[in-house]
Homo-oligomer: A and B are copies of this chain.
Amino acid sequence: MATRIIIIGGVAGGMSAATRLRRLDETAEIIVFERGRYVSFANCGLPYHVGGVIEERSALLLQTPESLRSRFALDVRTEHDVTAIDRDARTVTARDTRTGETMTETYDHLILAMGGTPRQTTPVGDDAPPVVTLRSVEDVDRVTEVLASLPAMTTARAVVMGAGFIGLEATENLVRRGLAVTLVQRGTHALSPLDPEMASPVADELARHGVDLRIATTVEGLTPTGVTLSDGSDIDAQLVIDARGIDPASHLAASAGLRLGPSGGIAVDEHQRTDDPRIFAVGDAAEKTDAVSAEPTLVTMAGLANRHGRAAADVIAWETGHLDAPPAAASPALGTAIVGLFDLTIALVGWSEQRLAAAGRAHRVIHTHPTDHAGYFPGAERMAMKVMVDPGTGLILGAQIVGGHGVDKRIDVIATAMHARLPAVELAQLELAYAPQYASAKDPLNMVGYIADNLASGVADTIQWHELPRAMDAGATLIDVRSPQEYAAGGIAGSVNVPLDALRDGIDALPPGELIVHCQVGQRGHTAARILTQRGRRVRNLDGGYLTWKAGAHASERVGAPIPA
């Protein structure tokens, strides 16, 4: 008898599982229940349809139940709400939300791919602006409808709750449609997984496009004309986007007695299997293993959902004799992510400095400001790069990059290096493709490797921007080794200017005690530190130079307090 497989959820993870299963087993019965009206839609494209970047709504609909039936012989049931799982009977009960009809289907294997649900209750009010999430095609239709109803979009305002990935994309696309946007963020900076100095360019970019960013603020409630914020202010708004993140949709699994993990996601083993051997879970509803801590975690990324959907299919196919060997165990999750914000690209992987510090994990930090390609070739764009390194193992713990061209490339190489467990110093050995319009002969990542090597070998010692005030209070002398022109254009209070090329002759005039050197990005500072160290001075180089310090200072100004407090 044919194997009977039920999949709950028909987007990324569920549909990857369904199509892979079919390719491995022509005889299986495969039923996919999807609560929404659409399956396999481009959820990461939703904000861009709001903004008109993706013009055709149909471009979001990658597959239909009909196309999936004809190509993959799948039984796809949209607008079906699964209400119960009976593990003893191995049945699933679903309700057709159009007709109210309920049905019970048996399974040999069950795959849970329900995704997430909004983290907090989205407020609604009869006499209040509409509040919409951006999770489904229906959501986008709703937003489109609201936008169409606005008399003049240039005078309309939207409030976006949450400055995470979706919140930033929503903001950009509403601005693109002509709306004024107030972006309300509970944390102290946009994109919480970033460290504050790395989030500083994000705040600048939002300001440059007229976005009203409110940090350390929440939406307290709706009013007839907009929202009330936690600081007591009222904001007029004709539309509110709720982008405050999601929790794993694990309610159904919990009701069926399946084990949830500490994160609230469905607990699975390295083959996506729950504690019921017949049931698998993938995607945003399922827990991952964190690559940095090896602890259970949640990572809500489409790529992982697809991969784990395929892996679950492979396990089932192996158990039913349609694959000769079981699939490899799932790799731990790095949490690689990227977002575009107007002309900025922001990418990250692994843990932030703040998260490492909070967890008490030892770490070294490296800030650089390389250009995406050779500076002598036109169009080179500067990026800010930050890499965290485990001083014990030398492994890369995380990275953050903010800039324009070439950001996506560097985060992918770092993610690959982390996956392969290459030590940070090995970045220096990578043989990356170089022609002047694409990179530099010493790629930014090679340079990070060299810096990691210098820190590990003791050739270099650095100080972080947020450690500078304490060191100066303790009597350290800060030497700005840039040119007098750069120094005059803006420096750090309390610094003295001794340009690098004059340093050898000026050493005897320097005061005793600890020296801290800095330049614009850290490179001349390194040479200066080497000169001074070899003359017997105790020296640290300000990591990332003036640019990182300034970004940190701006972050502190925005919060209104030194960071870390």
**What is the bound-complex CA distance between A459 and B504, given in angstroms?**
67
Give Cα distance in the complex from A323 to B442, angstroms.
Answer: 22
Q: List A residues 483-536 near B (Cβ within 8 Å).
A: 500-501, 504, 526-527, 530-531, 534-535
Please measure, in the bound complex, the distance between the C-alpha atom of A249 and the C-alpha atom of B376, giving whole angstroms. 27
Q: Is the CB of A526 within 8 A of B23?
A: yes
Residues of B within 8 A of A60 (CB): 376
Please tell me which one of the listed residues B45, B422, B430, B450 contacts residue A415 in the complex, with CB atoms under 8 A apart: B430
- Name A337's contact: one of B413, B433, B441 (CB within 8 Å): B433
Q: Mark A329-346, 1 if CB is under 8 A from B, else 0.
A: 001011111111000010
User: B531 contacts A303, CB within 8 Å?
Assistant: no
* Contact in complex: A443, B45 (CB < 8 Å): no
Q: Provide the residues of chain B in CB contact with A337, threshold 8 Å.
A: 433
User: Is A417's beta carbon under 8 Å from chain B?
Assistant: yes
Does A84 count as interface, using CB distance less than 8 angstroms? no
Stretch from A232-240, A383-391, A404-412, A467-475 contacting the other chain: A404-412
Residues of B within 8 A of A438 (CB): 338, 340, 345, 408
Cβ-based interface call for A31 (8 A): no
Give the shortest distance, in Å, between A412 (CB) and chain B (any CB): 5
The CA-CA distance from A434 to B434 in the complex, in Å, is: 24
From A53, A345, A432, residue with most partner B Cβ within 10 Å: A432
The answer to whether A441 and B328 have CB atoms under 8 Å apart is no
Q: Mark A420-436, 1 if CB is under 8 A from B, else 0.
A: 11100110111111111
Least CB distance from A300 to B in Å reads 12
Contact of A417 among B62, B169, B420, B421 (CB under 8 A): B420
Q: Do the beta carbons of A458 and B416 come within 8 Å of each other? A: no
State A78–B321 Cα separation when bound (angstroms). Answer: 72
Q: A374-B44, A420-B416 are in contact. Are A333 and B431 (CB under 8 A)?
A: yes
**Interface assignment of A563: CB less than 8 Å from any CB of chain B:** no
**B437–A340 touching, CB < 8 Å:** yes
Q: Determine how close the nearest CB of chain B comes to the CB of A486; give it in whole angstroms.
A: 15
Tell me which residues across on chain B come within 8 A of A331, comparing CB atoms: 429, 431
Assembly CA distance A329 to B271 (angstroms): 38
Q: Which of A111-119, A200-208, A261-269, A304-312 contacts B (4 or more CB under 8 A)?
A: A304-312
B24 and A530 within 8 A (CB): yes
Q: Contact: A413 with B411, CB < 8 Å?
A: no
In this complex, the member of A305, A328, A433 whose beta carbon has the largest number of chain B beta carbons within 10 angstroms is: A433
If A412-B412, A416-B413 touch, whether A434 touches B376 (CB-CB below 8 Å) is no
Task: Indicate whether A324 reaches chain B with its CB closer than 8 angstroms.
Answer: yes
Decide if B338 touches A71 in the complex (CB within 8 Å).
Answer: no
| B12–A441 CB distance below 8 A | yes
Q: Taking the nearest CB of chain B, how far is it from the CB of A103, in angstroms?
A: 26
Segment 42-89 of A: residues with Cβ below 8 Å from B: 42, 44-45, 48, 53-55, 59-60, 62, 70-73
Question: CB-defined interface of A282-324 with B at 8 Å, one 1/0 digit per residue?
Answer: 0000000000000000000111111100100000000000011
- Which of B71, B323, B413, B421 is in CB contact (< 8 Å) with A457? B323
A446 to B409, CA, bound (A): 15
Q: What distance in Å separates the Cβ of A398 from its nearest Cβ neighbour in chain B?
A: 13
Distance in angstroms between the alpha carbons of A441 and B302 in the assembled complex? 6
Q: Is A150 an interface residue (CB 8 A)?
A: no
Which residue of the partner chain B has the closest CB to A69? B501
Cβ of A378 within 8 Å of any chain B Cβ, yes or no, is: yes
Tell me, yes or no, whether A476 is within 8 Å of chain B by CB: no
16 contacts between A and B (CB under 8 A): A23-B526, A26-B530, A44-B441, A48-B377, A53-B377, A60-B376, A72-B527, A328-B429, A340-B438, A408-B439, A415-B432, A416-B416, A416-B417, A416-B422, A416-B432, A419-B422
